[in-house]
């Protein structure tokens, strides 16, 4: 999708520093727009945003408070981050300047989402193999990332070379791999 | 995740406020525990340990080439007299969100002592 | 009874740069190494078996140390011996242990225990931990009671029930009878170490290295735990630690994997080497950037030969062995040798000759030194953060290390050759 299309969608929003569109469920960057002086990595940002929204959704479901209109708002000293699901296919992340009034934020988000609904394609994403998503989750969240796969290999007993091509894992191996990733990250299960 | 940032990132987030002694984040494996001050002139670097002791710092004696003094609230000040380097070591039990402020306070105290000395 | 002066108990094996405390092999290591090594053992054995091994190793070698220290201090009664144990633990930088126990066991309350505290500081915001971190303290506590009450070694065990790494307010270790006591292994002290070292050699830049080693050894004589039992120096948490602990957990884990999952031996050894790499990179790097180093030696430099010589000096002063630079061609090749290492002493005494080079710390260290020398812009005052470290591995490491001579294989020296990988 041409960046100029996203650029057009965010015209008239001077307080917006960046916009990221994450394709779900794989949390991959679909498209992004940033101010010229911003130095973010689109891929990194998009994947975390997707996980954040997914975790938020599951948490709200556990509280029996989930709604299709839910929004994640994060404030830091430098920015205001708004995450919204736009259909089941996309999560949109808005990064505003911290001082932007919340009323204006809501207005801008609503307007841009309406525009994006028309711009973004309807897609039927082919869900990538679970083993690949497990491997990506591990390298995204494990400390000392450069050793994460080695640790998983040691914990699971699966050869490292095989783990590096996770699409070739047998079902029982995928189970072992997933268990090892849960143990490394201290999680009961992976929210994939 | 470590968010130590680039070395030399200046302290003091209030607009228009200069960090005392040009305080900057230094290298440490632990977040925001180590802060570097602007280098002192030789005379000031030599005088500083005594000035700090006068206001209640205690000295850990290991080497005359590196002077280490401990603030009553257990923050450390390490001085290299030969080069004028002054490093503030915030105590490791200081909560993360309070570390920069703590470094700031120590730096301000050092700055005031040096100013009074003339 | 006088308070313990740890410096009086510390000595180096002459010309071999191996360090001993009351005759027991010790070495300075940082929290990076300690945490990564324990984590590797967890990954290899599973957390329960790992804690068991780490506790056993700590108990065994702490017992030897405590026995020697109590004899030296003429501590005769249980309260004297327990007090000495608590002091020693603190001075070595492992935190504080407060005993509420008798000859049948009891509780050791831990505060600022090195492993749990450092783990929480380094990883606590990234990972939710589910098992206690202080296997070493648990073993030390068991050994302390065994020595205090003159019980058979291995008759007590320590189990950590609360740990700050699991967000508990404090650590609590229960010491109780061990239903399966293990028998003692071969004692490895100074005398035994002298039998497993080669003739010390001189390498390149000795005129630079030697005086720094002397100065550093003198400086570290004054380094010990603060009132809480932690040593924060050079930007890391430093411990004076038992070589026997490190060696036993590493080599026992390797033996276990060789027997049960031989396909995983290679990856375990890679991670053991990485422990060495992460230690040398962070500790040596932190030392080079410290004001202590600036005062004692000088500001860091991008001169590769000088930086390398400084790294070798640090390794010797920390008790890792008499490392030397046999060859150095910047950007091409580095050959590090040693006539002594705490790894080879242990392995030869406990296991005899090895089928392959197994000095993992030495291997990782040599690679890390090549990286420090060539890939860090020292004059820009870098911060050697976790992100910085991670970036070193992006795109692959442009150096390869191979151990070509090994004391544990019967050679008179150990040698690692580090070469640039052609791109």
**Inter-chain touch A147–C274, beta carbons under 8 Å:** yes
Report the gap between the CA of C255 and the closest CA in chain A (Å): 14
Mapping DSSP onto H, E and C, the string for chain A reads CCHHHHHHHCCCCCCEEEEEEEECCCCEEEEEEECCCCCCCHHHHHHHHHHHHHHHHHHHHHCCCCCCCCEEEEECCCEEEEEEEECCCEEEEEEEECCCCHHHHHHHHHHHHHHHHHHCCCCCCCCCCHHHHHHHHHHHHCCCHHHHHHHHHHHHCCCHHHHCCHHHCCHHHHHHHHHHHHHHHCCCCCCC
Dist CA B70 CA B53 (whole Å)? 9
3-state secondary structure of B35: strand
CB count, 10 Å around CB of C246?
26
Contact state of B89 with C219 under an 8 Å Cβ cutoff? no
Give the pLDDT score at A122: 74
Phi, psi of C403 (to 5 degrees): -85, 120
pLDDT for the residue A4: 59
Q: Which pLDDT band holds residue C1 (cuts at 50, 70, 90)?
A: low
Q: Which has the minimum average pLDDT: A69-73, C43-47, C285-289?
A: A69-73
Q: Phi-psi category of A101—alpha, beta or left, where left has phi over 0 and alpha has psi -120 to 50?
A: beta
Q: Find residue C415's DSSP bridge partners.
A: C337, C405
> What's the angle, vertex CA C118, arms to CA C140 and CA C218, rounded to 5?
75
Q: Rounded distance, CA A27 to CA B52, Å?
A: 54
ipTM value, please give it. 0.94
Q: Give the per-residue pLDDT at C105.
A: 96
| Residues of chain C contacting residue B65, judged by C-beta atoms under 8 Å apart | 295-296
Contacting residues for B72 by C-beta, under 8 A, at least 6 apart: B56, B57
C261 interaction partners in chain A (CB closer than 8 Å): 157
This prediction has a pTM of 0.87
Which residue is it, tokens 């027991």? C24
Residue B96 is predicted with a pLDDT of 86
Closest CA to C138 of C196, C57, C208, C205: C57
Give me the pLDDT at residue C14, please.
Answer: 79
C271-290 pLDDT, tens digit per residue, is: 999 999 999 988 999 999 99
Verify whether the Cβ–Cβ distance C291 to B87 is below 8 Å.
yes
Set of chain A residues whose Cβ sits within 8 Å of the Cβ of C277? none
What is the chain A residue with the closest CA to C391? A146
CB-based contact A150 C270, cutoff 8 Å:
yes
Asked whether the predicted pLDDT for residue B13 surpasses 60, the reply is no
Which of B2, B7, B63 faces C296 most closely, judged by CB atoms? B63
> Is the confidence at residue A68, as pLDDT, over 70?
no
Cis peptide bond upstream of C359, omega within 30: no
Nearest Cα of chain C lies from the Cα of A116 at a distance, in angstroms, of 34
Q: What is the pLDDT of residue B3?
A: 29
Percent of chain A past pLDDT 70, that is, above it, reads 94
Contacts of C126 in chain B (CB under 8 A): 1
Contacts B32 to C, Cβ<8 Å? none
C interface toward B at CB cutoff 8 Å?
Answer: 30-32, 121-122, 125-126, 218-219, 222-223, 228, 230, 232, 235-237, 282, 286, 289, 291-292, 294-296, 299, 380-387
Q: Phi/psi of residue C313, each to 5°?
A: -60, -40
CA–CA separation, C308 and C316 (whole Å): 13
Tell me the three state secondary structure of residue C162: strand
Question: Taking residues B46-70, what's their average pLDDT?
Answer: 91
In a mutagenesis test of the B interface, which of C124, C385, C386 is the best target, namely the one with the most B β-carbons within 10 Å?
C385
Of A185, A178, A172, the residue nearest A131 (C-alpha): A178
Looking at residue A126, its pLDDT comes to: 62
Contacts of A153 in chain C (CB under 8 A): 264, 267
- Closest-CA residue of chain C to B63: C219
Selecting from C125, C230, C383 the residue whose C-beta is nearest the C-beta of B1 gives C125
Closest Cβ–Cβ partner in C47, C123, C267 for A154: C267
Q: Is C102 on the interface with A (CB under 8 A)?
A: no
Render C30-56 in DSSP notation, one character per residue.
EHHHHHHHHHHHHHHH-HHHHHHHHHH
Contacts of B34 in chain C (CB under 8 A): 235
**Segment B16-44 mean pLDDT:** 84
- Inform me whether the pLDDT recorded for B17 exceeds 50: no
Residue showing tokens 């590096």: A164
* CA–CA min distance C263, chain A (Å): 7
Cα torsion through A130, A134, A136, A140, rounded to 10: 150
Q: Given pLDDT bands bounded at 50, 70 and 90, which one contains residue B12?
A: very low
Size of interface B-C (CB pairs under 8 A): 83
Q: What is the pLDDT of residue A124?
A: 61
**Using CB atoms, which residue from C126, C128, C271 is nearest to A154?**
C271
B77 compared with B5, residue with greater pLDDT: B77
Q: Which residue in C292, C295, C382 is closest to B82 by CB distance?
A: C295
Candidates C264, C371, C397: best to mutate against A (most CBs of A within 10 A) is C264
Q: What are A88-146's pLDDT values in tens digits?
A: 788 899 999 999 999 999 999 999 999 998 888 876 656 789 999 999 989 888 999 99
d(CA B13, CA B18): 9
- Please tell me the distance in Å from B80's CA to the nearest CA on chain C: 5
Q: Find chain B residues with C-beta within 8 A of C380's C-beta.
A: 7
What distance in Å separates the CA atoms of residue A102 and residue A173, rounded to the nearest whole number? 48
User: How many Cβ atoms from other residues are within 10 Å of residue C404's Cβ?
Assistant: 13
Tokens representing residue C214 in the block: 């002397």
Q: Which of A35-39, A147-151, C41-45 has the lowest mean pLDDT?
A: A35-39
Specify the 3-state DSSP secondary structure of C185: coil
Q: Report which listed range, A64-68, B12-16, B18-22, C270-274, is most confident.
A: C270-274
Q: Token pair 């003094």 is at which residue?
A: B69
Phi, psi for residue A75 in degrees, rounded to 5: -110, 135
C381 contact residues in B (CB cutoff 8 A):
7-8, 27
And the tokens for B47? 């005088």
């Amino acid at each position: 999708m041409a960046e100029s299309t996203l650029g057009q969608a965010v015209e008239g929003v001077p307080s917006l520093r960046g916009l990221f569109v994450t394709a779900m469920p794989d949390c991959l960057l679909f498209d992004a727009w940033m101010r010229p002086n911003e130095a973010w990595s689109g891929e990194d940002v998009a994947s975390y945003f997707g996980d954040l929204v997914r975790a938020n959704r599951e948490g709200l479901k556990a509280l029996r408070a989930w709604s299709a209109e839910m929004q994640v708002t994060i404030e830091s000293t430098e920015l205001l981050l708004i995450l919204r699901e736009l259909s089941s296919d996309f999560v949109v992340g808005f990064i505003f300047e911290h001082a932007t009034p919340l009323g204006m934020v809501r207005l801008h988000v609503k307007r841009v989402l309406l525009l994006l609904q028309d711009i973004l394609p309807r897609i039927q994403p082919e869900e990538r193999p679970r083993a690949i998503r497990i491997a990506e989750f591990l390298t995204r969240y494990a400390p000392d990332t450069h050793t994460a796969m080695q640790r998983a290999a040691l914990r699971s007993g699966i050869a490292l070379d095989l783990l590096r091509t996770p699409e070739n894992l047998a079902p029982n191996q995928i189970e072992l791999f997933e268990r090892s990733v849960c143990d490394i990250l201290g999680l009961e299960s992976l929210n994939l | 995740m470590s968010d130590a940032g680039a070395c030399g990132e200046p302290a003091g987030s209030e607009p228009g406020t200069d960090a005392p002694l040009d305080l900057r984040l230094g290298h440490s494996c632990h977040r925001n525990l180590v802060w570097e001050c602007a280098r002192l002139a030789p005379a000031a670097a030599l005088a500083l340990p005594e000035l700090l002791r006068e206001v209640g710092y205690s000295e850990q004696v290991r080497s005359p080439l590196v002077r280490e003094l401990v603030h009553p609230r257990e923050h450390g000040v390490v001085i290299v007299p030969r080069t004028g380097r002054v490093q503030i070591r915030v105590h490791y039990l200081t909560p993360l969100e309070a570390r920069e402020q703590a470094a700031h306070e120590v730096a301000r105290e050092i700055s005031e002592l040096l100013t009074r000395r003339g | 009874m006088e308070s313990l002066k740890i410096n009086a108990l510390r000595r180096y094996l002459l010309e071999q740069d191996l360090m001993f405390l009351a005759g027991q092999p010790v070495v300075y290591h940082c929290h990076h190494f300690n945490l990564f090594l324990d984590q590797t053992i967890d990954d290899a054995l599973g957390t329960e078996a790992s804690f068991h091994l780490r506790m056993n190793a700590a108990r065994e070698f702490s017992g030897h140390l405590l026995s020697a220290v109590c004899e030296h201090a003429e501590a005769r009664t249980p309260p004297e011996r327990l007090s000495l144990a608590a002091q020693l633990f603190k001075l070595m930088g492992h935190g504080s242990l407060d005993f509420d126990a008798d000859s049948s066991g009891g509780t050791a309350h831990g505060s600022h225990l090195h492993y749990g505290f450092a783990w929480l500081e380094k990883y606590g915001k990234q990972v939710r931990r589910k098992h206690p971190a202080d296997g070493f303290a648990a073993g030390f506590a068991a050994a302390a009671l065994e020595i205090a009450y003159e019980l058979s070694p291995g008759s007590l065990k320590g189990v950590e029930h609360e740990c700050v790494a699991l967000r508990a307010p404090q650590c609590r270790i229960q010491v109780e009878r061990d239903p399966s006591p293990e028998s003692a292994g071969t004692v490895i002290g100074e005398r035994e170490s002298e039998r497993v070292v080669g003739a010390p050699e001189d390498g390149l830049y000795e005129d630079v290295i030697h005086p720094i080693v002397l100065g550093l050894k003198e400086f570290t004589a004054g380094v010990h735990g603060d009132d809480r039992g932690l040593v924060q120096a050079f930007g890391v948490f430093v411990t004076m630690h038992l070589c026997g602990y490190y060696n036993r957990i590493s080599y026992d884990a390797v033996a276990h994997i060789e027997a049960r999952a031989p396909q995983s031996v290679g990856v375990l050894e890679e991670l053991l080497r990485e422990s060495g790499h992460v230690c040398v990179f962070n500790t040596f790097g932190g030392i080079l950037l410290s004001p202590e180093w600036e005062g004692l030696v000088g500001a860091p430099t991008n001169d590769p030969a000088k930086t390398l010589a400084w790294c070798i000096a640090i390794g010797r002063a920390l008790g890792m062995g008499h490392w030397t630079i046999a060859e150095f061609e910047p950007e091409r090749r580095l050959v590090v040798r040693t006539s002594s290492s705490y790894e080879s002493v242990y392995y030869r005494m406990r296991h005899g000759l090895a089928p392959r080079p197994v000095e993992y710390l030495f291997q990782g260290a040599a690679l890390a030194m090549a990286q420090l020398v060539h890939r860090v812009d020292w004059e820009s005052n870098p911060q050697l953060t976790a992100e910085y470290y991670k970036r070193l591995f992006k795109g692959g490491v442009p150096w390869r290390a191979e151990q070509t001579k090994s004391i544990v294989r019967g050679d008179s020296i150990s040698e690692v050759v580090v070469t640039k990988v052609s791109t």
